[in-house]
Amino acid sequence: MPQVVFHDQKNYQGAKPIGLDNPIPQLAVGKEDEPQWLTDFQRDGYVVVKSVVDREKALNYYANAGEDWLEGFKMGYKRDDPSTWDAKNLPRSNHGGLYSQYSFAHAQFVWDAKTEPKIVELFETLWGTKELTVSFDGGSLAVPIPFDQVQGNAKPWPHSDQSAYRPQRHCVQGLLNLLPNGPDDGGLTVLKGSANLFEQYFKEHMHLEPPEKWPRRDGFQWTEDELKWFYDKGCEWVKPVMEPGDFVLWDSREVHYGDFPKLQNKRFAIYICYKPMSAMSPEQQERKLEAFRRGYCTTHDPCDFLIKGDQEAEWNVNFPYAKPVINEQGQKAIGLIPY
């Protein structure tokens, strides 16, 4: 059997985004019984769906499991001792708590969240099929460490998770919120309505395309000058306030960033994204199975994914804890067993 070749997010040199020539999956919209959350999502580019997971389960199981995960590295962090809330006492992360290494996507509590029935049902409604595949995306266990220990001193980092060369709606991301998440507690911040203007922006600004081209992998970093175009069209920044167990969906084109906690409250969330299994190429399916076996984390797209950087870095440890026990729903969503 040929060796699986992975595409790395940090070093992607492809001529175009992964899977660009494949058919684009379509949302199951326009039905008479369309839920209000799906209507709101199409208008705003994001939506918060309340109480998808029981509040007590989000707090007592999922958030506690996140604390166990951090403390289990035995680097000095203690959940109830703010004097230990320092980068030197925590595993390496991006933007002060985004985990895309250490097989975070394959921790037992993360897989339990991915297969929560009501979360799966949201994506079944969204895509109009039960035959879905799930992302190996990471999560946020953001502890309020000093700002000078966070990339960019914890300033906003607005981006879209889609390439300029893939302007149509292609992927819908999601996260399960685990702790009370108020206006100053960090978390997802979106430029409301920007997803529906993404394609128009690049059509009107082709003259700004650099000689070396815009990034070909899915992802686009926005400058404040570029964002003025969206502001002029009425887009405004919104920081959704969420309770434990709430689930937020957003269009990958939506301009957004993960804000860092401004006070002493932590921000915990698990990223979960499903797409129709039919949208994944056989080559990507092979990569997905091998990524699972190795404990790799990937980008958000369950079908047209890249491997996150540093999966084999010296400092990274894949499967630092026991390998997860995957239920039937999860096995199907990976491709280990057929639907």
**What is the SS3 assignment for 238-259?**
ECCCECCCCEEEEECCCCEEEE
Q: What is the pLDDT of residue 8?
A: 85
Rg over alpha carbons for the chain, rounded to the nearest Å, is 19
Mean pLDDT to the nearest integer, 97-102: 97
Backbone angles phi, psi at 267, to 5 degrees: -125, 110
How far is it, in rounded angstroms, from Cα 124 to Cα 97? 30
How far is it, in rounded angstroms, from Cα 55 to Cα 36? 22
1 has a pLDDT exceeding 60: no
Please give the span between the terminal C-alpha atoms of the chain, in angstroms, as a whole number. 24
pTM: predicted TM-score of the whole model, two decimal places? 0.96
Instruction: Decide if 242 contacts 301 (C-beta within 8 A).
Output: no
Instruction: Decide if 194 contacts 230 (C-beta within 8 A).
Output: yes
Q: What is the pLDDT of residue 152?
A: 86
How far is it, in rounded angstroms, from Cα 154 to Cα 139? 17
User: Given pLDDT bands bounded at 50, 70 and 90, which one contains residue 2?
Assistant: low
SS3 content of the chain, % helix, strand, coil (to 5): 30, 15, 55
229 has a pLDDT exceeding 50: yes
For residue 321, the one-letter residue type is Y
Q: Would you tell me how many other CB atoms lie within 10 Å of the CB of residue 6? A: 17
Burial of 156 (0-12, 13-18, 19+ CB in 10 A): middle
The structure tokens listed for 333 are 């969503």
pLDDT in tens, 142-183: 999 999 999 888 899 999 999 999 999 999 999 999 999 999
DSSP string, 144-186: ---GGGSGGGG----EESS-TT--S---EEEEEE-S-B-TTS-
pLDDT in tens, 33-57: 999 999 999 999 999 999 999 999 9
Mean pLDDT to the nearest integer, 323-327: 98
pLDDT in tens, 262-318: 999 999 999 999 999 999 999 999 999 999 999 999 999 999 999 999 999 999 999
CA 292 to chain CA centroid, Å, is 17
* Among candidate residues 61, 53, 41, the one with its CA nearest the CA of residue 118: 53
Backbone angles phi, psi at 72, to 5 degrees: -65, -20
Q: Is 94 in a helix, a strand, or coil?
A: strand
Q: What is the pLDDT of residue 269?
A: 98
How far is it, in rounded angstroms, from Cα 139 to Cα 68? 15
**Class of the domain covering 45-334:** mainly beta
The structure tokens listed for 39 are 């209507």
Backbone angles phi, psi at 219, to 5 degrees: 150, 140
Helix extents (H) in the chain = 36-44, 55-57, 64-71, 108-114, 117-127, 198-204, 224-232, 282-294, 328-334
DSSP string, 204-231: HTGGG--TT-S-SSS-EEPPHHHHHHHH
How far is it, in rounded angstroms, from Cα 107 to Cα 85? 22
Q: Is 142 in a helix, a strand, or coil?
A: strand
How far is it, in rounded angstroms, from Cα 251 to Cα 274? 12
For residue 259, the one-letter residue type is D
Q: For all residues of the chain together, what is the average pLDDT?
A: 96
Q: What is the pLDDT of residue 153?
A: 84
255 has a pLDDT exceeding 80: yes
Q: Is 8 in a helix, a strand, or coil?
A: strand
Q: What is the pLDDT of residue 11?
A: 85
In the chain, the percentage of residues whose pLDDT exceeds 70 is: 99
